[in-house]
C-alpha cells in the first residue's frame, strides 16, 4: 500500500504583455479621412479649394501627449497565490484513490478605469468621487418569472470631468477560486481498467465580468460596474464529473468509453435604466442610460451538458501485421444543448427615484438554436 501527500504554496506573476497597453500608443490608432476634390483636378489642394473631413474619429490623439498618462507609472504586475493540499492512496492492489483541494486568489488586479488628469484623481467608484456621481434608488419591475428588485445605482453629475481612462491596479477587483476533487483509478488488470474524477468548484469575483477577449484587462467603467456584480464568474462550472474505462471483450474485441458532465454557465438578470429628466435636473445629473445587474451572476444557470463517447475495436492477424477495425460513436446518447436568450434585460424608465412607477420594456427572450449531434466513425487500418 502506498500513500502520497501533496501540498504547497505558489505565487505566480502574470506576464505584462505588450498587447495590454499597445493600443495606448498613438500610432496604433486609425481614422477615416475623406478628401473631396471640389475642383476636380485629381490632386489634393489646400483646404478652401478642396474639403477634408474625418469621419467618426480624429488624428488629434496622435499629436497629443495624453497617451503618456494612459498607464499609471506605479502600476504593478498582477499575481495569483495558490495553496494546494492533496493525498493519493493505493486502497487495494491496482486501485488508487485521491483527494485534492486547491485555493487560488488573484491579487493586484489591473484594469483600465476612469481617471482625471488635471486633479490626478480616479473616479470609477462612488466612494472615490461622490461629488461626480449621483445615487439613484429605484425598483426594477418584475417580469415573467423574474421578481422585482430595489437597487441603488449611480448617474454622472454635470460637474464630472471628460471621460478619460488609465491602466492601474484596481483594489476593488476580486477573483477567488476553490475546487475540491475526488478521483480514483483502477489500473489495467484482469482485462479492464476504469477511472474518474468529481470536482466541486467555487469561482467567484467581479472583475472578470468585463474582461476583454484575451482575459488580461478589466474595465470598471462606472460605479454601476460594482452593483450586484460580485457572483459566479462566467467560466464557473460548479460540478464537473468525468468517467473513463477500457474493457477487453471476448473474441479480442476492445471496448472503451469516456463520459463527462458539467454544469452550465452562470448569469443574472440585467436592465438598462435611464433617469427621469425632472429628477436629473433637480440633482444636477446627466440623462444617460446605464446597464446594471438586477441580481448577482449565479442567481441563474444555463443548462448542464453531458456527453458519452465509445469505441469498439478489434485487431485481426494478417500476414506480417494486423488489420485493425474500429467504430467510434461520439455523443452516443444524442445529448443536445438548447441555446437561447433568457435574460429579459430591456429598459426601465422610472418616473422618479424611490418609486415603482415608470415604463418597463422587456427585451426579447427566445430560443436561438440547438447544438448537438451523434457522429459514427468507422476506421480500417493496417499495422506492421
Domain interval for residue 105 = 3-16+74-383
- Does residue 332 contact residue 310 with C-beta atoms inside 8 Å? yes
Mark whether 58 and 88 lie in a shared domain. no
Mark whether 193 and 179 lie in a shared domain. yes
Mark whether 208 and 318 lie in a shared domain. yes
- pLDDT tens digit string along 333-344? 999 888 888 999
Q: Is the pLDDT of residue 57 over 80?
A: no
b/e 72-97 (16+ beta carbons within 10 angstroms → b): eeebeebebeeeeebebeeeeeeebe
Question: What was the pLDDT predicted at 215?
Answer: 37
Q: What is the pTM of this model?
A: 0.79
Mark whether 30 and 83 lie in a shared domain. no
Mark whether 243 and 328 lie in a shared domain. yes
Query: Please, which pLDDT band fits residue 272 given cuts at 50, 70 and 90?
Result: very high
Where is average pLDDT lowest: 44-53, 268-277, 279-288? 44-53
Query: Please, which pLDDT band fits residue 133 given cuts at 50, 70 and 90?
Result: very high
Q: Is the pLDDT of residue 320 over 80?
A: yes
Mark whether 65 and 78 lie in a shared domain. no
Task: State the average pLDDT for the chain.
Answer: 89
Mean pLDDT of 133-137: 98
Q: Is the pLDDT of residue 122 over 80?
A: yes
Mark whether 55 and 154 lie in a shared domain. no
Mark whether 377 and 240 lie in a shared domain. yes
Question: What was the pLDDT predicted at 60?
Answer: 59
Question: What was the pLDDT predicted at 214?
Answer: 36
Question: What was the pLDDT predicted at 235?
Answer: 87
Burial zone of 368 (CB within 10 Å; 0-12 exposed, 13-18 middle, 19+ buried) = exposed
Where is average pLDDT lowest: 55-59, 136-140, 178-182, 242-246? 55-59
Question: What was the pLDDT predicted at 209?
Answer: 44
Query: Please, which pLDDT band fits residue 371 given cuts at 50, 70 and 90?
Result: confident
Give me the sign of the Cα torsion angle 36, 40, 43, 45: negative
Mark whether 59 and 185 lie in a shared domain. no
Q: Is the pLDDT of residue 52 over 90?
A: no
**What does the block give as the cell for 3?**
500513500
Neighbouring CB atoms inside 10 A of 283's CB total 15
Number of domains present in the structure of the chain: 2
Amino acid at each position: 500500500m502506498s500513500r502520497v501527500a501533496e501540498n504547497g504554496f505558489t505565487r505566480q506573476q502574470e506576464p505584462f504583455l505588450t498587447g495590454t497597453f499597445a493600443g495606448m500608443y498613438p500610432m496604433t490608432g486609425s481614422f477615416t479621412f475623406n478628401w473631396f476634390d471640389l475642383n476636380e483636378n485629381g490632386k489634393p489642394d489646400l483646404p478652401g479649394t478642396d474639403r477634408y473631413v474625418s469621419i467618426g474619429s480624429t488624428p488629434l490623439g496622435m499629436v497629443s501627449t495624453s497617451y503618456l498618462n494612459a498607464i499609471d507609472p506605479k502600476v504593478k504586475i498582477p499575481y495569483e497565490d495558490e495553496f494546494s493540499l492533496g493525498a493519493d492512496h493505493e486502497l487495494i492492489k491496482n486501485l488508487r484513490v485521491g483527494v485534492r483541494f486547491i485555493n487560488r486568489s488573484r491579487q493586484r488586479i489591473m484594469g483600465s478605469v476612469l481617471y482625471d488628469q488635471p486633479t490626478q484623481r480616479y473616479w470609477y467608484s462612488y466612494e472615490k468621487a461622490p461629488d461626480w456621481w449621483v445615487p439613484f434608488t429605484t425598483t426594477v419591475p418584475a417580469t415573467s418569472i423574474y421578481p422585482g428588485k430595489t437597487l441603488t445605482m449611480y448617474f454622472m453629475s454635470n460637474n464630472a470631468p471628460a471621460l478619460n481612462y488609465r491602466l492601474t491596479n484596481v483594489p476593488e477587483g476580486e477573483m477567488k477560486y476553490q475546487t475540491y476533487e475526488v478521483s480514483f483509478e483502477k489500473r489495467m488488470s484482469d482485462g479492464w481498467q476504469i477511472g474518474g474524477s468529481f470536482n466541486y468548484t467555487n469561482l467567484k469575483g467581479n472583475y472578470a465580468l468585463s474582461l476583454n477577449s484575451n482575459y488580461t484587462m478589466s474595465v470598471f467603467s462606472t460605479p454601476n460596474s460594482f452593483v450586484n456584480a460580485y457572483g459566479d464568474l462566467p467560466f464557473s462550472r460548479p460540478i464537473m464529473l468525468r468517467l473513463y474505462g477500457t474493457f477487453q471483450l471476448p473474441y479480442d474485441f476492445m471496448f472503451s468509453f469516456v463520459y463527462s458532465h458539467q454544469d452550465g454557465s452562470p448569469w443574472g438578470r440585467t436592465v438598462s435604466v435611464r433617469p427621469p429628466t425632472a429628477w436629473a435636473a433637480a440633482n444636477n445629473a446627466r440623462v444617460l442610460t446605464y446597464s446594471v445587474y438586477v441580481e448577482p451572476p449565479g442567481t441563474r444557470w444555463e443548462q448542464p451538458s453531458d456527453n458519452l463517447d465509445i469505441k469498439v475495436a478489434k485487431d485481426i492477424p494478417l500476414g506480417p501485421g494486423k488489420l485493425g477495425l474500429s467504430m467510434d460513436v461520439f455523443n452516443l446518447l444524442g445529448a443536445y444543448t438548447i441555446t437561447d436568450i433568457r435574460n429579459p434585460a430591456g429598459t426601465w424608465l422610472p418616473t422618479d427615484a424611490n418609486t415603482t412607477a415608470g415604463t418597463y420594456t422587456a427585451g426579447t427572450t427566445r430560443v436561438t438554436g440547438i447544438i448537438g449531434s451523434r457522429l459514427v466513425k468507422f476506421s480500417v487500418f493496417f499495422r506492421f
